[in-house]
Structure 1
Amino acid sequence: MPKTHLQAVLMATPDETEAQFYEALQHGDLERMMAVWLDDDEAACCIHPGSGRLSGKRAIRAAYEQLFSQGQGIDVRPMSVQRVTLPGGGTVLHHVVERVQVNTAEGPRLIWVLATHLYLKTPEGWRLMVHHASPGSGREHHEGGEAPSTLH
């Protein structure tokens, strides 16, 4: 059984899909990353911090392929997740505060990212339909791991 098929079977909840997303990022695993995405060129959308909108699975794949081209993953960890199940139960929204560690010439540096994930229940399990990330300030993360209750 191919690895991507095994990973697809394991995504029975939005939380499991999100865990696969972050594991794929951390390991630089392109096939695992693409297994979490909705296979729909009109609905699938990805926006990385500071870049434009990627529409469709081919464009999303190309972006992650470039991101992982250095042969390593990205040290990104979800620190706080707020979950919202939309009416009907087949769509779930996650607001995530991510902690990203990057290595610079001066040493490791922490970056905070705010991400929104939209998950859709499909016959194959839960899939990521939208990943929209933007730079955060670090104020979003508190010792208790909770995001602030206001946006402004």
Structure 2
Amino acid sequence: MPLRKARAAALLSSPEDTEAQFYEALQQGDLDRLMAVWADEEEVSCVHPGGPRVVGIGAIRATFEAVLSQGPVHAMPERVRTLSNGETSIHNVLERVQVQGPKGPQSAWVIATNVYLKTAMGWRMVVHHASPGTANDVQEIIEAPAVLH
């Protein structure tokens, strides 16, 4: 197995490793590495901020190819909230995206939900749904537990 594929397989040993590879690939503009995190399933889906639902690995690849043709995406996951069971992990992520504005580098915000499924090939992404956010989204509204233990 080539070193690159062996490295990718090792990085997909947990949902957190898969998520780290997804964001690293975006930041490096590496389409092949980004697509390696996706499950090989017909019903995988992706929604880019303000965009339509994209279904299927070929269509998802085409949209990320278009995005990365503009250069790497400097998205940093922050405030990750995780809900997991044995074979599924759902991550709600606040993404800080560095963009070049008229006054220099600025932060833009995206709220994303990433869903991972444990497969025979390790943990793979099956859904990435991203919505435009604002700086106000940095503030979280969290309900306090109703029962104290």
TM-score of the superposition, structure 2-length normalised?
Answer: 0.89
1:28-107 equivalences in 2 (<5 Å): 28-41=29-42, 43-70=43-70, 72-86=71-85, 89-107=86-104
Alpha-carbon distance, 1:9 to partner? 3.1
The reply on whether 1:132 has 2:129 as its aligned counterpart is yes
Alpha-carbon distance, 1:68 to partner? 1.1
The reply on whether 1:123 has 2:100 as its aligned counterpart is no
Alpha-carbon distance, 1:112 to partner? 0.8
The higher radius of gyration belongs to 2
Task: State how far apart, in whole Å, the 2-side matches of 1:5 and 1:129 are.
Answer: 21
1:118 and 1:130 in contact (8 A); partners too:
yes
1:120 and 1:129 in contact (8 A); partners too:
yes
* Secondary structure, aligned partner of 2:136: coil
Q: Which position in structure 2 is the counterpart of 1:13? A: 14
Task: State how far apart, in whole Å, the 2-side matches of 1:128 and 1:8 are.
Answer: 13
Q: Which position in structure 1 is the counterpart of 2:141? A: 148
Alpha-carbon distance, 1:141 to partner? 1.7
Task: State how far apart, in whole Å, the 2-side matches of 1:53 and 1:104 are.
Answer: 28
Task: State how far apart, in whole Å, the 2-side matches of 1:64 and 1:2 are.
Answer: 24
- Give 5+ residue unaligned stretches, structure 1: none
Alpha-carbon distance, 1:99 to partner? 0.4
| Percent sequence identity over aligned pairs | 46
- Give 5+ residue unaligned stretches, structure 2: 144-149
Query: Moved runs in structure 1, 4+ residues, more than 2 A?
Result: 2-6
Aligned residues: 142
- The letter of the residue matching 2:124 is R
TM-score of the superposition, structure 1-length normalised?
Answer: 0.87
Alpha-carbon distance, 1:118 to partner? 0.5
